[in-house]
Amino acid sequence: MVETHIYRMMEQEWGSSFMRRAIAIARHGMTAGNGGPFGAVVVQNGIIVGEGWNQVLSLSDPTAHGEMMAIRDACRRLGTHVLEGCDLFTTGEPCPMCLGAIYWSRIRSVYYGFGVDRAASIGFDDAFFYQQLHLSPEARSVPCRQLLAQEAETLVLEYVAMPNRMSY
């Protein structure tokens, strides 16, 4: 019990500096008009290896969320598409897009400052998108239909037959 408590305290102390850096980055980006109050850092072995902030407006890129930019920055710096053993510190709880990127990058754990409900209260759609993803594809507001299944299957079979294909 005591050990767990001490461990939690140490973890919070350790993580606080990284979260404060994420908040500082977010503040810088939002005051510059780059986007919302979202910043993130990727940490590996106690060192920041990637940073990013929301640049949806400044880059005209709907995928330029803080977490995405931080993950891409870390991958660029480390020369890999895999961030195993890394932790992500982000001012706002990840949206489904960013959570998907977190899974693809194999990040180990996530720390966030404010939740998706708070983001919703200031006009962001993260919570609505989570609701949408929890619905069956037919019930979602963006319809998703299959087309040319046979030609797509041919492509898949060609991929499977490739001798030197790398998995990821």
- 11 as an active site residue: the answer is no
**143 is an interface residue for a copy of itself by CB under 8 A:** yes
Q: Between the CA of residue 67 and those of 86, 90, 119, 155, what are the distances in Å?
A: 13, 7, 15, 32
**103 is an interface residue for a copy of itself by CB under 8 A:** yes
**52 is an interface residue for a copy of itself by CB under 8 A:** no
Nearest to 116 by CA among 139, 134, 141, 142: 134
Tell me how far apart the alpha carbons of residues 49 and 16 are, in angstroms, rounded to a whole number: 16
Q: Count the site residues for a copy of itself by CB under 8 A.
A: 87
**99 is an interface residue for a copy of itself by CB under 8 A:** yes
**149 is an interface residue for a copy of itself by CB under 8 A:** yes
- The least CB distance from residue 4 to a copy of itself, in Å, is 14
Q: Which two tokens stand for residue 161?
A: 């037959």
* 11, 13, 67, 151: the active-site residue: 67
- The least CB distance from residue 42 to a copy of itself, in Å, is 12
Within 10 angstroms of residue 113's Cβ, the number of other Cβ atoms is 18
